[in-house]
Structure 1
Amino acid sequence: MTEATAFPPTRRRRIAALILLTIVLHVLAIHWGKNYFNAATADERAASSVSVTLRPLALPTQPVSLPAAAAPKSPKPVLKKPRPPASPAQPPADSVATLAAAGDSPPTSDAPAPQPLQTHDVAEPAAPKEDSPPLVQGTQYRIDPPPSAALEYDVVAFSDNLTWRGTSTLDWKTDRSRYTVDGEVYTRLFAKIAFLNFTSSGEIGAFGVEPELYTEKKRNRPATNTHFNRERNVVSFSASTTSYPRAGGEQDRASLIWQLAAIGRGDSGKFAPGAVIDMFVAGVRDGEVWRMQVLGQEEIRLITGAAQVWHVVRQPRPGSYEQRLDIWLEPGRQWYPARLRFTETNGDYLELSLSSIKTS
């Protein structure tokens, strides 16, 4: 039997196409697994015109003011009216009459007459001495966390001249006393490929969203834990020996978004062009003060239509290799994050645009 008889032309073409498809899929798989965001199909290679240029911002000049705990509501004092002074005791009328008939006068007391009730002004608190250290005051925020919701985002990333598309989910759950937020960034080729998973959990307290544990897992890397220890008042990391004192109001990379949303819902006056909201943010190895600058209100286009949003930016210090973070919060939908963008110093970026919301 000849080769032509064993494999007819039609079948040979199918086998050749299958081999070619297998080679193409292997090449794509290599590109997908190259590194963290280096994932793209052949027809999604970035054109030369693709670039992301964000307007650099001047760093805030006002002093840093970290959050202060909201003052507990104290009951109003009950003011009691002073009782009028008691009148001097008088002998009964019949006793006076009897004494008068006998020619005697009523007995008089040598006790001093009662004086009228004196009133005094409350003394003002003493002013601090000139050599006392100045009082360091933070900023108090009225907090109203948004209701629980499952949010889904369309993801576009650009890295190493490759454009990658995928999906991200954010599940925010709260019962008004505690919260959890679970996030994932992934794509699908032959199966679901997760590039980033993270979880933040804690309580809703006097400072607002107060994380206790932040866990982050990147693809091909071990998970890391960031602890906000309440017993020892220490912020510590599983990925380093660095630690910081915990004073209250500290955030992690996931909780800070929901803290901003809670401030927007409860204290929207803090969102004004030029305003700054300061927070200490702990990452996976260390932490620092993030100065969230409020740029103003904007209109952006989403898959669900136009959205009126507040644009907030974290601009890293000059010379830093930290990411720039842009957050667009939508007051018309409970201040949920409508768009997030993380931009590297070399122009690579990861952008998440809200595509759907499911509330419980």
Structure 2
Amino acid sequence: MTEVTAFPPTRRRRIAALILLTIVLHVLAIHWGKDYFNAANTDERATSSVSVTLHPLELPRQPVSLPMAAAPRSPKKPAKPRPPAPPVSPPSDAVTAVTTVDATSVTASAPVPEPAQTPAATAEPVAPKEDSPAPVQGTQYQVDPPPSAELEYDVLAFSDNLTWHGTSMLDWKTAGNRYTIDGEVYTRLFAKIAFLNFTSSGEIGAFGVEPELYTEKKRNRAATNTHFNRERNVVSFSASTTTYPRAGGEQDRASLIWQLAAIGRGDSTKFVPGAVIDMFVAGVRDGEVWRMQVVGQEQIRLITGAAQVWHVVRQPRPGSYEQRLDIWLEPGRQWYPARLRFTETNGDYLELSLSGLKTP
């Protein structure tokens, strides 16, 4: 005979309550998560959530002009001594008096000097020195990096047919001739979920913001390092064997934004519609020249109100799988980035809009 054991009434009530509580929590989680992840009506949500309209731009036609450091001032050369002034001719009456006495003696004792030849008549073309350096092609920028600040952004993203909201923190610090950038993009469900962490550090020198190390960590991926080695003058990557010579002025994906802000603060005349600011930008595996096109001034809406900004765009070449980068810099607030948008070729995007700003 088999013995059947039944749960006591008290225990059965506890189990039923636990099951009911679990169901309620799942319903609340699904309802609460609609604002963050919603696979239904993704096309409609993606269209209504986009806060900016992007237009394709014609690629720049002017030659590439990478940044160059300002040339050191050459010491002033001592002034050449002036030749002695020619003797003053005697008055006409004195010459007449002398010649009436003895014209032969006058000719012998005071020969008439030949007219001096002009420099144009005697100058010969000067050949350039063989050891003189060839002129360097590039653009010099006056830079003034913004003061330290902690910036908070509201994040809107569309990826894998999901629209989600999150937060991004960007910490920009300067101390003397050093700088650091710490950034994070994350969202919160039951816990904090970080999608991207990155850091950049280096010097503020003759080229402006000069990175030495860039580190990037994406969710579920290993961290990567990009090195800007000053001793060997080479740019290298932990994720690949590719290398590039380091000539100065190279940027990483984080420092690029602050270099543009430094140029805006140091020489705002470089920001005119149609202007192009060229930079070599190193990613996590390789690098290439990014042509940052100045679209013009625009007014955008932020949580903090309306903002007058300069819109700068990096548009990839046709057929490239590289993302488009739009940057809106706000001169009224130290040229801090008021909005950033990264757009993939398949339409996915990540948009950051400034929602908070703290300065020391």
Same fold judged by TM-score > 0.5?
yes
Letter in 1 for 2:338: A
C-alpha distance in structure 2 between counterparts of 1:125 and 1:358, whole Å: 60
C-alpha distance in structure 1 between counterparts of 2:258 and 2:126, whole Å: 39
Letter in 2 for 1:64: V
Question: Structure 2: any 5+ residue segments left out of the alignment?
Answer: 1-5, 85-118
Deviation of 1:19 after TM superposition, in Å, equals: 2.0
What's the counterpart of residue 36 of structure 2? 40
C-alpha distance in structure 2 between counterparts of 1:146 and 1:125, whole Å: 47
What's the counterpart of residue 283 of structure 2? 283
Tell me, what secondary structure is at the counterpart of 2:328? Answer: strand
CA offsets per residue over residues 34-73 of structure 1, 9 Å max, x none?
Answer: xxxxx93459973525235621111100000000112235
What's the counterpart of residue 226 of structure 1? 226
CA change 1:335–1:22 in 2 (3 A) is same
C-alpha distance in structure 2 between counterparts of 1:257 and 1:185, whole Å: 16
What is the RMSD of the two structures over their aligned residues, measured on CA atoms?
A: 3.6
What's the counterpart of residue 267 of structure 1? 267
Letter in 2 for 1:60: P
What's the counterpart of residue 102 of structure 1? none
CA change 1:63–1:8 in 2 (3 A) is same
- After TM superposition, the structure 1 = structure 2 runs for residues 167-178 of structure 1, keeping only pairs within 5 Å, are 167-178=167-178
Alpha-carbon contact 2:38-2:163 (below 8 Å) kept: no
Letter in 1 for 2:346: N
Tell me, what secondary structure is at the counterpart of 1:264? Answer: helix
Letter in 1 for 2:327: I
Deviation of 1:162 after TM superposition, in Å, equals: 1.1
CA change 1:125–1:306 in 2 (3 A) is farther
Alpha-carbon contact 2:39-2:161 (below 8 Å) kept: no
C-alpha distance in structure 2 between counterparts of 1:354 and 1:245, whole Å: 36
Alpha-carbon contact 1:329-1:339 (below 8 Å) kept: yes
Moved more, 142-151 or 182-191: 182-191
Deviation of 1:193 after TM superposition, in Å, equals: 1.5
CA change 1:82–1:284 in 2 (3 A) is same
Letter in 2 for 1:192: K
Deviation of 1:161 after TM superposition, in Å, equals: 2.0
Alpha-carbon contact 1:157-1:349 (below 8 Å) kept: yes
Alpha-carbon contact 2:152-2:355 (below 8 Å) kept: yes
Tell me, what secondary structure is at the counterpart of 2:259? Answer: helix
Correspondence 1:18 to 2:21: yes
What's the counterpart of residue 252 of structure 1? 252
What's the counterpart of residue 214 of structure 2? 214
Alpha-carbon contact 1:45-1:163 (below 8 Å) kept: no
What's the counterpart of residue 301 of structure 2? 301
What's the counterpart of residue 46 of structure 2? 50
Moved more, 44-53 or 60-69: 44-53
Letter in 2 for 1:167: T
C-alpha distance in structure 1 between counterparts of 2:143 and 2:20, whole Å: 61
Correspondence 1:357 to 2:353: no
C-alpha distance in structure 1 between counterparts of 2:136 and 2:78, whole Å: 33
Letter in 1 for 2:72: P
CA change 1:240–1:210 in 2 (3 A) is same
CA offsets per residue over residues 266-322 of structure 1, 9 Å max, x none?
Answer: 011000000000000000000000000000000000010000000000000001111
Deviation of 1:124 after TM superposition, in Å, equals: 9.0
CA change 1:170–1:124 in 2 (3 A) is farther
CA change 1:134–1:59 in 2 (3 A) is farther
Alpha-carbon contact 1:186-1:195 (below 8 Å) kept: yes
CA change 1:123–1:253 in 2 (3 A) is farther
C-alpha distance in structure 2 between counterparts of 1:258 and 1:163, whole Å: 28
- After TM superposition, the structure 1 = structure 2 runs for residues 102-251 of structure 1, keeping only pairs within 5 Å, are 126=127, 135-251=135-251
Deviation of 1:127 after TM superposition, in Å, equals: 5.7
Letter in 2 for 1:247: A
Alpha-carbon contact 2:45-2:163 (below 8 Å) kept: no
TM-score normalised per structure 2: 0.77
CA change 1:46–1:82 in 2 (3 A) is same
C-alpha distance in structure 2 between counterparts of 1:312 and 1:44, whole Å: 34
Question: Structure 1: any 5+ residue segments left out of the alignment?
Answer: 33-38, 86-119
Tell me, what secondary structure is at the counterpart of 2:42? Answer: coil
Tell me, what secondary structure is at the counterpart of 2:146? Answer: coil
C-alpha distance in structure 2 between counterparts of 1:55 and 1:344, whole Å: 14
Alpha-carbon contact 1:237-1:285 (below 8 Å) kept: yes
What's the counterpart of residue 106 of structure 1? none
C-alpha distance in structure 1 between counterparts of 2:184 and 2:40, whole Å: 22
CA change 1:158–1:207 in 2 (3 A) is same
Alpha-carbon contact 1:65-1:139 (below 8 Å) kept: yes
Alpha-carbon contact 2:253-2:282 (below 8 Å) kept: yes
CA change 1:15–1:352 in 2 (3 A) is same
Alpha-carbon contact 1:216-1:225 (below 8 Å) kept: yes
CA change 1:337–1:84 in 2 (3 A) is same
